Amino acid sequence: MKSASFLLSSDVTTLLQAQGITVPTPVQEEIIPAATNGQDVLAQSETGSGKTLSFAIPIIEKLERNDGLRALVLVPTRELSTQIAGEFVKYSAGKHLGIVPVYGGMPISAQAFRLRNANIIVATPGRLIDLLNRRAVNLSSVKYFVCDEADRMLDMGFIHDVERIASQLPPEHQTMLFSATVSKEIEKLAANYLRNPKNVRLASTVKPVYLKQTYCNVKPDRKLDTLTDLLNEDRQLAIVFCNKKYVTAKLAKSLSAAGIHARYLNGNMSQQQRERVTSDFRQNKFSVLVATDVAARGLDIDDVSHVYNYEIPKDVDSYTHRIGRTARAGKKGEAISLIATEGEEKSFRQILSKYRGEISLRGTSETMTRRLPNEPSRGKVIRAKSSAPKHDEEKGRISWRKRWQELLAR
């Protein structure tokens, strides 16, 4: 990343080059200059876009070891806390800044002790509230406040914790709010806490040429077999998403019995267990991770080639977050959804009505543009390729057009 364009120090530039980072991503081009100038930021940007460095670099450049506590980064999950804290450590090498990840599942007394010498805190809201209640931390000296993955924090019910934490900050501070989606709730949050912000709304960083999205209609009693067959195809690392925690454990056990090295990740596990599973997955010690949305929220692994929705997410935002686990760092990937029940058909139909990308029906020649009742045309195209004979293709078109009409009539 060229220092001339962002006025970066030679130390930071050297550290970036050592990691192979020489060209800024679109989100970094937009945010780093604004953040460096002290402007508040509201950014709609997905995981994998380079957003962490877009706020971490300006903060690192402005801090020295003797400054005391100056920066607070709020995140929704423990994994994201450790991941972002690690990025701060990596790109501040030589400055010896006090960077403290704060999250539940670890001894609170040890975290309170480390906070005495902190320059940067990367925290989950719940644990930070606990530390504030114990008067183990004082936020009155914070100058830089980052709220990362704000949409997920709202989904997880952290809004009141976020508001309470924000009330502990001094009147004069810089706020940067990042979210993969910007809903009315996020806009309201921004209106309350941001002052004349730099608004950055970037299109998805995952381009269709890199990310293939497909779905399969399967019988309920064939769902596990279908997933097993798909996982036995040529791939790298894979994440299988489930909605319920108990399903992750059950499914990982079933996949392992079928000869696929799978492990699970969910919120019922201890922090030590979750960190060990995440580390082993990152190191390719096993190739299939079965996880819930929240548990996988902080995962940032470039070698994930496939994402499978074993259970269909409840909304388009969750779908967007899930598929963002693959096709990262310029690599190709595929997201495959398995639809087996009426409830899953309904959920997926709602996703299709709002999602602006291209999703293909796997295993047919279907090419269709459809419009929901009272919905303006958005050009959503559902495509799939097939080498089937022409008469079979026409039969497939009629069959699936009729099926969609039935679904839309419900």
What digits encode the pLDDT tens for the residues 91-121? 999 999 999 999 998 999 999 999 999 999 9
Tokens of 360: 């293909």
The per-residue pLDDT for 354 is 81
Query: Quick one: pLDDT band at residue 295, thresholds 50, 70, 90?
Result: confident
Range among 56-60, 328-332, 365-369 rated most confident? 56-60
The per-residue pLDDT for 77 is 87
For residue 311, give every residue at least 6 positions away whose Cβ sits within 8 Å of its Cβ, in sequence order, or none: 241, 242, 243, 244, 247, 344
Cβ neighbours of 279 (radius 10 Å): 10
> Percent of the chain scored above 70 by pLDDT?
83
Helix (H) or strand (E) holding 278, with range, is helix 271-282
The per-residue pLDDT for 252 is 97
Query: Quick one: pLDDT band at residue 388, thresholds 50, 70, 90?
Result: very low
The per-residue pLDDT for 207 is 60
Tokens of 47: 């995981």
Helix (H, G, I), strand (E, B) or coil at 177: strand
Query: Quick one: pLDDT band at residue 392, thresholds 50, 70, 90?
Result: very low
Whether the CB-CB separation of 33 and 57 falls below 8 Å is answered with no
The per-residue pLDDT for 358 is 82
d(C-alpha 25, C-alpha 208), whole Å: 18
Residue 386's identity, in one-letter code, is: S
pLDDT in tens, 183-194: 888 999 999 999
Among 157-166, 249-258, 290-299, 371-380, which is the least confidently predicted range? 371-380
Q: Helices (H), strands (E): how many in the chain?
A: 16, 16
The per-residue pLDDT for 75 is 95
- Quick one: which of 46, 61, 48, 76 has its CA closest to 16? 61
Whether the CB-CB separation of 124 and 81 falls below 8 Å is answered with yes
Between the alpha carbon of residue 317 and those of residues 23, 83, 136, 320, the distances in Å are: 29, 22, 36, 5
pLDDT exceeds 50 at position 123: yes
Q: Using CA atoms in the order 226, 266, 250, 347, what is the torsion angle rounded to 10 degrees?
A: -50
The per-residue pLDDT for 303 is 87
Question: For the residues of 186-218, what is the DSSP string, one character each?
Answer: HHHHHHHH-SSPEEEEPPPSS-TTTEEEEEEE-
Domain 3-201, CATH: 3.40.50.300
> Helix 78-91 and helix 51-62: axis angle, to 10°?
50
For residue 335, give every residue at least 6 positions away whose Cβ sits within 8 Å of its Cβ, in sequence order, or none: 211, 212, 213, 214, 306, 307, 308, 309, 322, 323, 326
The per-residue pLDDT for 401 is 45
Kindly list the domain boundaries of the chain, sorted by start residue.
Answer: 3-201, 211-362
pLDDT in tens, 48-72: 678 899 999 999 999 999 999 999 9
Query: Quick one: pLDDT band at residue 383, thresholds 50, 70, 90?
Result: very low
CATH superfamily of this structure's domain 211-362: P-loop containing nucleotide triphosphate hydrolases (3.40.50.300)
The per-residue pLDDT for 312 is 96
pLDDT in tens, 209-247: 788 999 999 999 999 999 999 999 989 999 999 999 999
The per-residue pLDDT for 48 is 63
The per-residue pLDDT for 26 is 86
For residue 336, give every residue at least 6 positions away whose Cβ sits within 8 Å of its Cβ, in sequence order, or none: 213, 214, 215, 216, 230, 306, 307, 308, 309, 362
Cut 0.75: pTM above it: no
d(C-alpha 119, C-alpha 139), whole Å: 11
Between the alpha carbon of residue 48 and those of residues 52, 248, 257, 302, 312, the distances in Å are: 9, 24, 33, 9, 22
Mean pLDDT for all residues in the chain: 84
Between the alpha carbon of residue 113 and those of residues 86, 104, 137, 271, 410, the distances in Å are: 19, 15, 10, 19, 58
Domain 3-201 and domain 211-362, same fold? Reply is yes
